Amino acid sequence: MIEERDRKAFLKKILPRVVKATLSGIIIYVAFYFLSSLIPEVLFLGYEQLIFVFTMILIVFTVLHQLSAGTILQFAFSFARALFLIIYFVYALNGGIITATMGTMRFTVDIRVFLAMLVFVNVLGLAKSMFGAINFLSGKEE
């Protein structure tokens, strides 16, 4: 009887998280699917794999973050996601200087300002995760 009550409580606790995590994952996937269909294909040339990896890892982190809501792991996953995004953006955007060759044409795009914006946003995310974790732990202590 007690066991069944515990199971029910556990399901009651975990089910909304699973639903939330699934929905978040689906929303991210659908958003990327629509965004990629809006942006001209030529801009993705050579970046398809990187964009796919980005989408998948973002979904994984979001699902993990949702599943671990209310635990210290939530902040750890948020921190890891922000850190991953910083490294990913620096790597994928080649440090802000992108070069491409199409036939006899060679393109160079300097998007370092844009990269700086992305890194800054994720640094704020890192700070938020750290503060969140400290707050969570201090709340538990009290």
Q: Give contact residues for other proteins (rule: CB under 8 A).
A: 39-40, 43, 104-111, 113-114, 117-118, 120-121, 124-125, 127-128, 131-132, 134-135, 138
Of 49 and 108, which has the nearer Cβ to other proteins? Answer: 108
Closer CB to other proteins, residue 23 or residue 127?
127
Q: How far apart are CA 5 and CA 43, in angstroms?
A: 55
Residue 3, token pair as written in the block: 């066991």
Burial 24-49 (b: 16+ CB within 10 A, else e): bbeebeeebeeeeeeeeeeeeeeeee
> Between residues 2 and 43, which has the closer beta carbon with respect to other proteins?
43
Give least dist CB 4 to other proteins, A.
Answer: 37
